[in-house]
Structure 1
Amino acid sequence: MQLSAPIHVLKRKAKLAARGNDIALHQALDKVAIEEGFNSWSHLVSSSVHENPARQILSQLESGDLALIGARPGQGKTLLGLELVARASDVRRNGYFFTLDYHERDVAERFSSIGIDPSTFKGSVVIDTSDDVSADYVINRLGVEKEAALIVVDYLQLLDQKRTNPSLDVQIRSLQRYVLETGAMCLMISQIDRSFDLAEKSMPDISDIRLPNPVDLSAFRKLFFLHDGKIQFDRAA
């Protein structure tokens, strides 16, 4: 069934409706889904396989990959990161989501918005909202991990905010070494510079990644860019 708009746009519509009508987000999501011809939001999500970039990304990842997911605000990159860790078991891994941007309640709401019930994870997915998240923190947190891991860090630019942390370039290199040594997969969510909005391009690319300080982006084996419900795959030069 063809949707009237990409899923991330429908999510924003539901969020605005929830605020405007003082109803729970899940109720607003179900209402939008019914308007689209589905029984519920979870039915809409599960039926929209063709709009599922998480499956596309998982099919491209390999052990030892350090990858980047870049998009402008409102394009669904954090929701995509959450879905990736929720689907980590599809590639026989445990999922780890490290965020400096959201609290646990926010994360629970966002799982709900994509039709995922965190109570079903049974230890296979870990959400870490510590203010201390950095490359070293992630590596130490996973130091005792005996199963292969799929890691999502939300988001790249926030790792560069604490002066007590190593430079962003050093942190990226540390994560690169870690995934190569352990066979983990790590995806970094990244902001895209607002200049992209004025560019005559249909999709952002590596030149649009917002970098407050210099970073050697060749550390990323794979790059995924989102815009208007579409996904583009690239490799660092």
Structure 2
Amino acid sequence: MRFSSPIYTLKRHAKQLARDNDIKLHEALDQVATKEGFNDWSHLAANFSKATPARKIMGQLRSGDMVLIGARPGHGKTLLGLELAALAEKNNRKSYVFSLEYNEADVWDRFAKLGLDQEAGTRPIVVDTSDEICAAYIIERLGYRPGEALVVIDYLQLLDQRRSNPALEDQMRALKTFAVESGAIVVLISQIDRAFDLSSSAMPGLGDIRLPNPLELSLFDKRCFLHDGDIQIETAA
């Protein structure tokens, strides 16, 4: 079933409905889900996970790939990255999420909304929100696990914020080398420059990636851009 709006838009509608009618958010979410033709929000979320483009993207990823996911805030880039992490186990890969943006509780709250809500200690995904996250930290944390790891990093630009870290391009080259040598898949979530909002383009591209410092974008084998519920998948030439 196709939704009338992207799921993040439906969540916004539910939040507004809860405020306007002084009801609990879960009640508003269920009302929105009912209008979409589902029994409740959990029913909608389960169907969303089946229809998500993450499955299509996962089917195109290969060992050694480095992947870029880019979108403006609120267009679903982090959710897509987490969906890929959630799908990795079914593709015989161990998932790791490294976030400099969110704390661990926030990350697991987002996973719960995707239907992955497991007790601590039984969770199949490793979530790391250390302030020390950089390419060297990630590589050391993973060790050498040929063909087993899918790594999601949230997000690209924050790797460049500490002066003690190597240059962003050096970090990306280190991660690319690690991916190729270990067979891992490395996914980088990226900001899009706000100037895109003033453009006439329907979808951001490589030229819209916000880069405070130089970075050779050809290092990314696959690029996924999202905007207003649409997605564009590119493969490096």
TM-score normalised to the size of structure 2? 0.91
User: Which position in structure 2 is the counterpart of 1:183?
Assistant: 183
Paired letter, 2:97: F
- SS of equivalent to 1:43: helix
Going from structure 1 to structure 2, the CA distance change for 1:5 and 1:123 (only over 3 Å counts) comes to closer
- Residue 158 (1) aligns with residue 158 (2): yes
Q: Secondary structure at the match of 2:126?
A: strand
One-letter amino acid matched to 2:58:
L
Contact kept in structure 1, 2:145 and 2:182, CA below 8 Å: no
* Counterparts of 2:26 and 2:116, CA distance in 1: 11
- Structure 2 residue runs of 5 or longer lacking an equivalent are none
Secondary structure of 1:137's partner?
A: helix
Instruction: Write the letter of the residue equivalent to 1:10.
Output: L
Q: How many residues align?
A: 237
CA distance in 2, matches of 1:164, 1:23: 48
Aligned-partner SS, 1:119: coil
- Post-superposition offset of 1:164: 0.6
Q: In the alignment, what sits opposite 1:72?
A: 72
Q: Does the Cα contact within 8 Å between 1:41 and 1:115 map onto a contact in 2? A: no
Q: Does the 8 A contact of 1:94 with 1:147 survive in 2?
A: no
Query: 1:134–1:37: structure 2 CA closer, same or farther, 3 Å change rule?
Result: same
Residues 19-39 of structure 1: per-residue CA shift (max 9 Å, x gap): 666766544433321232211
**Contact (CA 8 Å) 2:146, 2:184: kept in 1 or not?**
no
State whether residues 111 and 118 of structure 1, in contact with CA within 8 Å, keep that contact through their aligned partners in structure 2: no
Unaligned runs of 5+ in 1: none
After superposition, the Cα gap between the structure-2 partners of 1:49 and 1:84, relative to the gap in structure 1 and judged at 3 Å, is: closer
Q: Rate the CA distance shift 1:146–1:25 in 2: closer, same or farther, 3 A.
A: farther
Identity %, equivalent residues = 55
Distance 1:90 1:34 in 2: 30
Q: Provide the residue aligned with 2:90 in structure 1.
A: 90
The amino acid that maps onto 1:55 is: R
Q: Work out whether 1:12 is the aligned partner of 2:12.
A: yes
Task: Supply the AA of the counterpart residue of 2:92.
Answer: R
* Alpha carbons 2:46, 2:114 under 8 Å: kept: no
Letter in 2 for 1:207: G
- 2:63/2:183 contact within 8 Å kept: yes
Q: CA deviation at 1:12?
A: 2.4
The alignment's TM-score, normalised by the length of structure 1, stands at 0.91
Match of 2:61 in 1: 61
Contact 1:217–1:236 (CA<8 Å) still a contact in 2? no
Specify the code of the residue in structure 1 equivalent to 2:220: F
- Conserved 8 A contact 1:206-1:236: no
Taking only aligned residues, the RMSD between alpha carbons, in angstroms, comes to 2.2
Whether the 8 Å contact between 1:11 and 1:113 is mirrored in structure 2 is: no
Structure 1 pair 16/133, CA: closer, same or farther in 2 (3 Å)?
Answer: farther
Cα distance in 2 for partners of 1:15, 1:225 equals: 26
Residues 1:216 and 1:41: Cα distance change in structure 2 (over 3 Å): same
Alpha carbons 1:42, 1:114 under 8 Å: kept: no
Q: Superposition pairs for residues 15-30 of structure 1, below 5 Å? A: 15-17=15-17, 25-30=25-30
Query: Could you tell me whether the CA contact under 8 Å between 2:66 and 2:222 is conserved in 1?
Result: yes
